[in-house]
Structure 1
Amino acid sequence: MTESRLAYRWSQSEFLRASKAGAFDHRVELVDGAIWPVAVGSWHGDTVGRLLATLPRDGVRVTTATLPTGESLPDPDCWVRRIDASPIGTVGSRLSVWAAADVLLVVEVADETMIQDLNVKTRLYGQAGYPVYWVVTQRAVYEHTGPIRPGYRTRVEYLHGERIPVPYADAGLAVDELIAPRS
């Protein structure tokens, strides 16, 4: 016999109220109505630092802000938007909502979260219409392009020694410059 369970789905407003009230004792994000812990660590932080230092910045803004996406409030490790973009709305009083056409690149650094980032967040960001999504792991950068409802049409794996294209800058970056060495 199977046991049925009721799953509670958080709304954005409930999540924001709980966060403001100090209900969470660590960093969390809202993904598809569920509260997810935000994983951090030395390699993760070093890799995010490399991305922030390396991503091209001409005509764009590179940020680590929460990126309201559908009914979720994910915290990508960084993302890039057009410098002249204006928010199309807000969630609560502090979070700006952006048009998919203004979000040029979304990046997640995946150490413990690789399965979620390559599956759930791929679907989330693809459904939102963000044109390029990277998942940076210790061994590769996975580039997702061609957003569609179930995720992305294309995923390409770029390994150490290779270069990954940065379409918004009409440039490429060495994967080795993006991935921090394991200490």
Structure 2
Amino acid sequence: MTVTIAKWTIDDYHRMIQAGILSDRKVELLQGEIIEMSPEGEPHAYCSHEASEYLTNLLGDLATIRQAKPITLPNASEPEPDISVVQRLGREYLLHHPYPENIFWVIEYANSSLEKDLEIKSKIYAEAGILEYWVVNLRKLNLVVFRDILDGEYATKQTLITGTIQPLAFPDISVAVDQIINK
């Protein structure tokens, strides 16, 4: 017997949200599948909030920092990254969530979701054309940086524990790794 999984489109997903079907569930759409999101523990909530504040101050008017808000990707995915660094499009986001061309980079904070964020989400983000993806490993307190898309996957993966990093979108800006992982 063959098992076929029903895949959902972004429009299907939005209709479910509007109908209230998913109102009491913390979920996201990944490659056409509705996936339960892990609950946020205290370190996750604290670190992502502090990093968001830091990036807001650091980047100023260069970008908007969205915390735990959906982004819409062409691969039937609408994840909710912990932090999305996006173009400042103001009221345009009333009409749609940021698309890949609006996104400078995304950051996920991971403890129980570490494998999902490092394996599944890295492929989803690369396939969608998001040029840079950061994962904060809350278990080891390090920052994993994915870059250089090649054949729908990130070709470069770098792990940092200290120092600074220059985002691809803003090469003149130095981001302190300590401020992102909140050591």
8 Å contact 2:106–2:132 — kept in the other structure?
A: yes
**SS of residue paired to 2:166:** strand
Deviations 1:118-171, CA, capped at 9 Å, x for gaps: 111111111121111101111211111112333211110011x33333343322
**Alpha-carbon distance between aligned partners in 2 of 1:156 and 1:111, rounded to the nearest angstrom:** 18
Partner letter of residue 13 of structure 1?
A: D
**Correspondence 1:10 to 2:8:** yes
Unaligned runs of 5+ in 1: none
**SS of residue paired to 2:44:** helix
Q: Which residue of 2 aligns with 1:107?
A: 107
Unaligned runs of 5+ in 2: none
Matches of residues 159-178 of structure 1 in structure 2 within 5 Å?
159=161, 161-169=162-170, 170-178=172-180
**Correspondence 1:79 to 2:84:** yes
Gap change, CA 1:162 and 1:131, over 3 Å in 2:
same
Higher strand share: 1
8 Å contact 1:78–1:107 — kept in the other structure?
A: yes
Partner letter of residue 66 of structure 1?
A: P
Aligned residues: 173
Q: Which residue of 1 aligns with 2:34?
A: 35
Q: Which residue of 2 aligns with 1:149?
A: 151
**Alpha-carbon distance between aligned partners in 1 of 2:100 and 2:9, rounded to the nearest angstrom:** 21
TM-score w.r.t. the length of structure 1 is 0.83
**Correspondence 1:60 to 2:90:** no
Gap change, CA 1:37 and 1:94, over 3 Å in 2:
farther
**SS of residue paired to 2:169:** helix
Percentage identity across paired residues of the two chains: 23
- Structural RMSD (CA): 2.3
29-38 vs 17-26, which deviates more? Answer: 17-26
Structure 1 consecutive aligned stretches of length 4 or more whose deviation exceeds 6 Å: none
51-60 vs 129-138, which deviates more? Answer: 51-60
8 Å contact 1:66–1:95 — kept in the other structure?
A: no
8 Å contact 2:51–2:182 — kept in the other structure?
A: no
Deviations 1:41-95, CA, capped at 9 Å, x for gaps: 21111111012111132311111331101121111111112325896xx9xx853
